[in-house]
Structure 1
Amino acid sequence: MQSSSATAITGFGVGLRSCHYRDFLNAPQAADWLEIHTENYMGDGGYDLHVLEVLRQDYPISLHGVGLGLGSASATDAGQEQHLQGLKRLIHRIEPGLVSEHLCWNAVQQHFLNDLLPLPLNNAALQLMCERVDRMQHVLQRQVLIENVSTYVRFATDEMSEAAFMAELSRKTGCGILLDINNLYVNQVNHGESANEAIRIYANLPASTVGEIHLAGHLDAGSCLIDHHGSRVHAEVWKLYKLACQQISYPVPVLIEWDTDIPELHVLIDEANKARQLHAMQLTEAIA
């Protein structure tokens, strides 16, 4: 179970990046919480971990993993277990409010691929993911969130939509969902899928199943959209976020992701405040 001393994640946060350490250390910032990439802090010391331990005194922390590759069919038990034990130590040290990973694979025949690669959306992959998520939650003794991912291929063996896959994964394992709205839009353009329908499916899940929302920028490469996290949130993604605010009937913490061409911190804070304002507007309209 989650430690009682962990601070709950609420409101609007930003990803903590090393170029902004000094901003956070020097003065309070208008972010309700911070999210870090787990693998950057899994060592037993160093400056990054020191900064995180200082900032956790003032900001709730979310651990967002990018390296576990839960859906890797050939991943060794030893490799998965080593990663989980490192994550468990970090959780004990930091006591985060949320812990998350991705619906993806990243290893084959003992080779690690540094990417979030898409799974076939079929029952065989669902069974594997359920086994891996069950194991992860058992080792960590807490619920985890699984994030929908941006993809550039779909498989002929797909048997369901990504949202239906995620909904069934949550039902079978009790995991929560990290809903990345930019990824929904990227997949809508790349594959002709309905982001609106996906949001409807997520919104109709039991209360609090969606435990976090991500917003980010993407790159138009002509033949497809690329989820590069290197720009402000696009207008079409803001429209989908407004729809999510209208349909999801409970408060969900929201994160602004920005991982490439990282600007000054005030730009991320400005995006978080825009999300805050749009959410407030939807609440006001709902009450009216």
Structure 2
Amino acid sequence: MSYEQYKKGWRPPVQDTETIPGKQHEINPPPLDDITSDGKPYKPAGKLEGKSAIITGGDSGIGKAVALLFALEGADLTITHLPEEKDGQDVVDLIYKKTKGTRVVQRISLDLQKEDACKQLVEFHLKKFESVDSLVLNHGTQKAEQDITNLDSQQWLDTFNTNIHSFFFITKAAIPHIPSGGTIIFNASINPSVGHPELVDYTATKGAIVGYARAISNQLVGEKGIRVNVVAPGPIWTPLIPATMSKESKETFGTTTPMGRAGQPVEVATCFVFLASADSGYISGQVIHVNGGTVIA
């Protein structure tokens, strides 16, 4: 089995959208959720059996792939999404189909810019499950702007409220319910390492995520036995690509990596599985770079 998306030189077709992020069900061809780079279906091994996880932004892109792979590995899930109901329900339906109904999956639509909603998410999960074995914070927003003097101040505040302040609110609420051996995994980006000129506010928040993760890892891993790590993808074929990005950036998306192609959500999701499982039991405070071969010093 072979997929064009894994061939060198392949890039996603330009598909502008007015919504941020875009809607997964409108993307054609769809990003790959459980077909690995050898063209074969992902093969689970029960790595997360008996576990439960919260996955934010679980309705599309990387979050959808993470949710699917976690479920295939045996985890029960709470996923959050924006008010777009179709993508959220599509993920639940897909998981039930792929796992033959053996997993418990609940979803909730919340505005995670607000602390009350972040607390509500954790409470919603705990009503169904006893603990939070894995907390996966994947949600985020971005809007391109090529001139910082034109970067709207409200956009700056909204990006920080979504991409980093909510991470603090959710982890603060969840940590008392994460057992020893539990995991926290954040989705960051390649951008803090390379400095994307069109995504200044987004890049700043993703750098903050890395610093936040390292700090709380040092606070949690020794005393509470909770490991904290980060996945830093880029560029990955997801609905997050903003319509406001320059034509040049869109037309070269992914093809400038050493591998010469954009990545797929499943290629990032496997790293989340690794960091949530016992396979990574001696890893905390680290960043895994999933970026097509770009070397990060």
For the aligned pair, the TM-score class normalised by the smaller chain equals 0.3 to 0.5
Task: Name the TM-score, length of structure 1 as normaliser.
Answer: 0.41
Relative contact order (C-alpha < 8 Å, sep 6+): which is higher?
A: 2
Task: Name the TM-score, length of structure 2 as normaliser.
Answer: 0.40
Higher strand proportion = 1
